[in-house]
A and B are shown apart, each in its own frame.
Chain A
Amino acid sequence: DAGVIQSPRHEVTEMGQEVTLRCKPISGHNSLFWYRQTMMRGLELLIYFNNNVPIDDSGMPEDRFSAKMPNASFSTLKIQPSEPRDSAVYFCASSSRLLTEAFFGQGTRLTVV
């Protein structure tokens, strides 16, 4: 398996633009997590899905952020409109109850100018 795949790896956008980050979890994993990592706030859990259903989105910073998981092999995190303070590395991770640990993608480094 290729592991968790995220795209794009890097994104530079202007303030006010819409940004969509994509994630393909490991096949067979039924939990998917979106994290944001910054120097100031560390690793923050934004939202997680179980069996494609959003279970807890209390970490989503505001209404500008939204996430979807239309099927077991794909998830998106959208920011609209983007702001400079959204600049961070966004990680997607997936896990299976059988395996227990979460495996991380390579991350998307987002820069909003």
Chain B
Amino acid sequence: ELKVEQNPLFLSMQEGKNYTIYCNYSTTSDRLYWYRQDPGKSLESLFVLLSNGAVKQEGRLMASLDTKARLSTLHITAAVHDLSATYFCAVDTHYNTDKLIFGTGTRLQVFP
């Protein structure tokens, strides 16, 4: 059974600081997605990573994928309050049954 784990689960950080969220998964896959969810809202797609070594950047967020290590990272640079949200990674198990399984989520709070 595919498992997708994120850490940390909660992250409280000061504005201007850098931090990394980790996403580990338990089965072979070369498709990984990052989503953002604001409180009471739906999920918004941030990044789509489709191959080993893929790196995507948007503003203060950068995502990378290492399929050999079954690891993806979401790096936050110089955090600002607007980045406060819950971040999810999701893995596509298309090698087997084409499911899209989500991680536990990382709740990020950025304070002044």
Contacts and interface: CB of A to CB of B under 8 A. Distances in A.
Contacts of B104: 42
Interface in B69-97: 88, 90, 92, 97
Interface string A90-105: 0101010000111111
Contacts of A106: 41-42
B50 A100 contact: yes
A33 B102 CA distance: 12
A100 B48 contact: yes
Interface residues on B, range: 20 to 34
Given A43-B105, A100-B31, A107-B42, A31 B98 contact: yes
A16 B6 CA distance: 36
A45 B102 CA distance: 8
Given A42-B105, A101-B48, A91 B43 contact: yes
B108 interface: no
A7 interface: no
Interface in B14-46: 31, 33, 35, 41-45
B99 interface: yes
Interface of A: 31, 33, 35, 42-43, 45, 48, 50, 55-56, 91, 93, 95, 100-107
Given A31-B98, A106-B42, A101 B33 contact: yes
A56 B98 CA distance: 9
A33 B98 CA distance: 11
Contacts of B88: 43
Nearest to B88: A43
19 contacts: A31-B98, A33-B100, A42-B105, A45-B101, A48-B98, A55-B98, A91-B42, A91-B43, A95-B100, A100-B92, A101-B33, A102-B33, A102-B90, A102-B100, A104-B43, A104-B44, A105-B42, A106-B41, A106-B42
Contacts of A101: 33, 45, 48
Contacts of A45: 99-102
